[in-house]
């Protein structure tokens, strides 16, 4: 398939491009480089032997986006482009809605206009909110999102579902990611956070490289085995492979499907810290702090739908996730 990958130079997008190319698909990347670098294209080439065609375009710019559709005969779109910082979304909500919802509507309109019927969308487990029992099942629907970022994901899910109902040719797979971490085994691709990392793994990595003094563990009084928050961490390469299966599924099935992508296993903050210590071969400092507002105790996926519909099963464990992250951060200090 000839596939437009929006946000394709980003963390998850770049890994997905590698897996799409490995699976024999033709990839065209579109990104405004707001949160990624152009040299990712050379890294994709170093891994796969192919440098994808690239457009530096903002999805908010309808006319520029239309030129990309006009010049290419896409069969599918995988849509990663978006802002993703939870805390920032609380301070600048209009920018988040404009980019993540407004930009996406431009894309969906052009898909319709140019008869590009197959979509995979990056959603998040954040749409379950704190309303449900684990493991989170797709049929639960939506919980209360606790920040504008999460709400942009929920709104996109609704738009995609409505659009598929209104357009019998359209097909979409909405992937609800749990907690993607890790990096490509080559050490070439990974996640470089902007500023102080919000997410656990990049923060742990910065403690290891000496940028941060210690890990702040947000709460040890949750109802979990060691009292710290439990999440379903998934290796980004596993997640990337799920996208290949999802876009191939969309091509064969009309309508919209929502599918969790996780491992189905929960690890605590201290489990992740200890796995990273194993990877780097030394102890890392941490301090127990207050709970972070908006956090829930436990989140992990029911993965049976991904297995049933896509034949997807995550392969890599927490040790491999930390080993690959560690290698990437050593290469990119
Ligand atoms: P990322 O920031 O590394 O990648 C997103 C890419 O989109 C970046 O390269 C950025 O430059 C680009 N972009 C942003 N706005 C754009 C615009 N208006 N036009 C064109 N390009 C634009 O993030 P990621 O971690 O790879 O996440 C990819 C997607 O998955 C995002 O939609 C994110 O919300 C979603 N998601 C991520 C996680 C996670 O933990 N990383 C979890 C759940 C969902
Ligand atoms: C967060 C976002 C979620 C988003 C997801 C993307 C919040 C409230 N939620 O989820 O919307 O989709 O990232 O991956 O921000 N932790 C620490 N110390 C740290 C950082 C994190 O103890 O410095 C703990 C957290 O309390 C949590 C766990 O580590 O228990 C994972 O945190 P994080 O990586 O931020 O992911 P989520 O909170 O699951």
Choosing from 28, 30, 80, 96 the residue with most ligand 1 atoms within 8 A of its CB, the one to mutate for a pocket test is: 80
Q: Which residues line ligand 1 (CB under 6 A)?
A: 7, 9-13, 31-36, 58-60, 80-84, 99, 103, 122, 124, 177, 180
Q: How far is CA 268 from CA 48, 140, 205, 300, 324, in A?
A: 35, 24, 16, 11, 19
Nearest ligand to the CA of 29 is 1
Q: How far is CA 81 from CA 4, 53, 100, 193, in A?
A: 11, 16, 8, 16
Per-residue pLDDT of the chain (333 residues; tens, 9 = 90+): 999 999 999 999 999 999 999 999 999 999 999 999 999 999 999 999 999 999 999 999 999 999 999 999 999 999 999 999 998 999 999 999 999 999 999 999 999 999 999 999 999 999 999 889 999 999 998 888 989 999 999 999 999 999 999 999 999 999 999 999 999 999 999 998 888 999 999 999 999 999 999 999 999 999 999 999 999 999 999 999 999 999 999 999 999 999 999 999 999 999 999 999 999 999 999 999 999 998 999 999 999 999 999 999 999 999 999 999 999 999 998
Query: Which atom of ligand 2 lies at the shortest distance from residue 294's CA?
Result: 8
Residues 3, 29 contacting (CB under 8 angstroms): no
Q: Known catalytic residue: 149?
A: yes
């Amino acid at each position: 398939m000839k596939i437009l990958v929006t946000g394709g130079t980003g963390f998850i997008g770049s890994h997905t491009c590698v897996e799409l190319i490995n699976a024999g698909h033709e990839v065209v990347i579109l990104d405004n480089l707001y949160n990624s670098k152009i040299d990712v294209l050379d890294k994709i080439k170093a891994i796969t032997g192919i440098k994808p065609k690239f457009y530096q375009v903002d999805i908010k710019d309808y006319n520029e986006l239309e030129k990309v559709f006009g010049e290419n005969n896409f069969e599918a779109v995988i849509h990663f482009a978006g802002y993703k910082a939870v805390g920032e979304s609380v301070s600048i909500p209009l920018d988040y809605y404009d980019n993540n919802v407004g930009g996406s509507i431009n894309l969906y309109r052009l898909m319709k206009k140019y008869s590009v019927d197959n979509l995979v969308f990056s959603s998040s487990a954040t749409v379950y909110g704190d309303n449900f029992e684990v493991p989170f099942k797709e049929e639960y629907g939506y919980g209360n999102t606790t920040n504008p970022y999460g709400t942009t994901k929920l709104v996109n899910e609704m738009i995609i579902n409505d659009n598929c109902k209104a357009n019998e040719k359209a097909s979409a797979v909405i992937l609800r990611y749990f907690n993607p971490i890790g990096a490509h085994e080559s050490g070439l691709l990974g996640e470089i956070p902007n500023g102080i990392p919000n997410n656990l793994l990049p923060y742990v990595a910065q403690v290891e490289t000496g940028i941060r003094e210690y890990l702040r563990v947000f709460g040890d009084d949750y109802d979990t085995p060691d009292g710290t928050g439990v999440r379903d961490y998934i290796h980004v390469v596993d997640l990337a492979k799920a996208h290949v299966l999802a876009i191939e599924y969309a091509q064969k099935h009309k309508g919209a499907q929502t599918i969790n992508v996780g491992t189905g296993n929960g690890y605590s903050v201290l489990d992740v810290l200890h796995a990273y210590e194993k990877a780097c071969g030394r102890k890392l400092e941490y301090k127990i702090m207050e709970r972070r507002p908006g956090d829930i105790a436990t989140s992990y996926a029911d993965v049976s739908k991904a297995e049933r519909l896509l034949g997807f099963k995550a392969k890599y464990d927490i040790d491999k996730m930390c080993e690959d992250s560690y290698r990437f951060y050593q290469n990119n200090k």
